[in-house]
């Protein structure tokens, strides 16, 4: 399965893909387009895109009111006290991704007390992991019952969160680690996917599904990849 990660999952809904929308917080986090244009840029020597957008979004109520079956809503929790209001608000059968790893916020993201989001009515209750420094947290997620994981979020750099091919070694290593020591996990691999060769490399490392985001900055390259992924023979 091919997932379209945020922010492009908010806009691209194609056959044989699953859009991930968000990330959404309990309350609206406003921002100016000028800030997006100022911080979102391509860094040639890193061969990737960086951003410091900081979870600009219209809030979880908007996500609930516009949710459609087949989508996944990415949720970011900024305070422990927000967990219960969000759990109470979202439908029990809403498929979700818990974004515990965005590097571009002014507050530490909450990554504990998340077990309450798990239930048998959701097809997807995913934890989106950072590319580094997550092993202790991962062990806790696994013991709490989480089995669906998305690797990886952007890589923290002095420029902002980096996406692109430099993520691949981190994601590959982490997939192999999880598959070796934590049986039964479903892994969505993302970071640096540009071609079917990248997909096959992730598949060999143990990935079950795949995601793209920054590839969508180049519509021609994305559509070429999408057609190849959707029609492999």
Mind listing the pLDDT tens digit for each residue in 150-202?
998 877 777 777 788 889 999 999 999 999 999 999 999 999 999 999 999 99
Report the CATH fold assignment for 2-230. TIM Barrel (3.20.20)
Distance CA 111, CA 225 (A): 33
The predicted model scores a pTM of 0.92
Kindly report the number of other CB atoms within 10 A of residue 196's CB atom: 14
Beta bridge partners of 177: none
Q: Give the lowest-confidence range in 8-12, 110-114, 119-123, 223-227.
A: 110-114
Side-chain half-sphere CA neighbours of 62 within 13 A: 16
Residue 164: both structure tokens together = 């692109």
Residue 25: both structure tokens together = 């917080």
Which residue, 24, 58, 54, is CA-closest to 36? 54
Length of the chain: 233
Q: Give alpha helix (H) positions in the chain.
A: 33-39, 60-66, 83-89, 135-144, 168-181, 196-205, 219-230
- Tell me the Ramachandran region of residue 47: left when phi exceeds 0, alpha when psi lies from -120 to 50, beta otherwise: left
In this predicted structure, what is the pLDDT of residue 231?
A: 87
In this predicted structure, what is the pLDDT of residue 163?
A: 80
Contact of 5 with 211, CB cutoff 8 Å: yes
Domain boundaries along the sequence of the chain = 2-230
Q: Is the pLDDT of residue 8 over 70?
A: yes
Q: Is the pLDDT of residue 35 over 60?
A: no
Centroid of chain to Cα 142? 18
Distance CA 197, CA 64 (A): 36
Three-class secondary structure of residue 84 per DSSP: helix
Q: Is the pLDDT of residue 53 over 90?
A: no
- State the chain's mean pLDDT as an integer: 90
* DSSP 8-state class, residue 108: P
- CA dist list (Å): 36 to 31, 149, 150: 8, 28, 24
Three-class secondary structure of residue 43 per DSSP: strand
Side-chain half-sphere CA neighbours of 145 within 13 A: 10
Q: Phi and psi at residue 154, in whole multiples of 5°?
A: -70, 155
Residue 90: both structure tokens together = 């979202």
Q: Is the pLDDT of residue 205 over 80?
A: yes
């Amino acid at each position: 399965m091919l997932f379209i990660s945020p922010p492009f999952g908010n806009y691209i809904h194609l056959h044989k893909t699953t859009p991930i929308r968000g990330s959404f917080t309990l309350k609206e986090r406003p921002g100016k387009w000028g800030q997006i244009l100022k911080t979102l840029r391509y860094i040639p020597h890193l061969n990737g895109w960086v951003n410091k957008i900081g979870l600009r979004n219209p809030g979880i109520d908007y996500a609930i009111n516009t949710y459609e079956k087949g989508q996944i809503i990415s949720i970011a929790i900024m305070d422990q006290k927000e967990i219960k209001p969000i759990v109470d608000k979202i439908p029990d059968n809403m498929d979700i991704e818990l974004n515990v790893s965005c590097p571009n916020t002014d507050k530490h993201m909450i990554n504990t007390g998340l077990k309450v989001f798990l239930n048998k009515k959701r097809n997807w209750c995913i934890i989106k992991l950072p590319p580094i420094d997550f092993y202790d947290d991962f062990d806790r997620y696994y013991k709490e019952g989480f089995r669906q994981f998305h690797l990886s979020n952007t890589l923290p750099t002095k420029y902002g969160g980096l996406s692109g091919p430099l993520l691949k070694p981190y994601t590959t290593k982490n997939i192999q680690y999880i598959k070796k020591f934590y049986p039964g996990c479903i892994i969505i691999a993302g970071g640096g996917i540009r071609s079917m060769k990248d997909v096959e490399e992730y598949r060999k490392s143990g990935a079950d599904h795949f995601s793209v985001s920054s590839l969508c900055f180049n519509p021609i390259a994305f559509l070429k990849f999408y057609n190849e992924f959707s029609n492999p023979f």
